Amino acid sequence: MNPDDLAHLIDQRCRRSGRFVLRSGRVASEYFDKYQFEADPRLLDEVGAMLAPLIPAGTQVLAGLEMGGIAVVTALGRHSGLPCAFVRKVAKEYGTAQLAEGAPIEGRQVLVVEDVVTSGGQIALSTKDLRDRGAHVDHALCVIDRQEGGAQALAADGITLHALLRRDDLDAARAAGGGTT
C-alpha cells in the first residue's frame, strides 16, 4: 500500500461528520474515529509499517499514550524492533503503581506515540510526566495531525511533532477518490 492509498482508506473509514466534543473541550463538526483503523489488524499493521521510517534517530523507547496510542505503539514496535512503554494518563494506585509500564524510560530517549493530535494537550501532559520520571522526550509521532495548532503548541514545549498523515493529506485523498462517509 502506498501513502496515498492509506490516506484514502483511513479517510473513508475514520472521518465522521456531526457534532463532537474533543478532549480539549472544543466542539468540532468532524471527527477522525481512530478506533476504525486501530481495530483492523491489517490496516493497523500498514500504519505501523509506514510510521516506522518516521522514528527519529536515537530513539530508544516508544511510549504509547493511553488509550489509542497503545495499539499504534504496539504495531510500530513490531516494525521497528524498539521496545515499548505503555503510558497511563494517571499512575495507577495499585500493583506496580507506575505511570509507564513495559520498557524502562528513565535516562532513555523516548518517542511519544499518539493516534490523533488536535491541540497536543495529552502529549504535553504525558511528556511532562515522562520527563519528571527521567525520560528524555524531544519528539512525538502521530498517525493523524488534524492541523489545529497541536504541532505549534508542542513546539513551545520543546517537542517536535511528526505525523504520518495530516488533515491536508486526508482532504486531498477525499478530493482525489471522491470518498464519502
- Measured from the Cβ of residue 152, the count of other Cβ atoms closer than 10 Å reads 12
Say whether 68 counts as a known binding-site residue.
no
Say whether 121 counts as a known binding-site residue.
yes
- Break the chain into its structural domains and give their ranges: 3-177
Whole-number pLDDT of residue 95: 82
Q: What is the pTM of this model?
A: 0.92
Say whether 118 counts as a known binding-site residue.
yes
Tens-place pLDDT, residues 38-96: 999 999 999 999 999 999 999 999 999 999 899 999 999 999 999 999 999 988 788 88
CATH 3.40.50.1820 correct for 3-177: no
Say whether 120 counts as a known binding-site residue.
yes
Say whether 108 counts as a known binding-site residue.
no
Say whether 110 counts as a known binding-site residue.
no
Sequence-separated (6 or more) residues with CB below 8 Å from residue 156? none
The three-state secondary structure class of 95 is: coil
Whole-number pLDDT of residue 79: 98
Say whether 122 counts as a known binding-site residue.
yes
Say whether 114 counts as a known binding-site residue.
yes
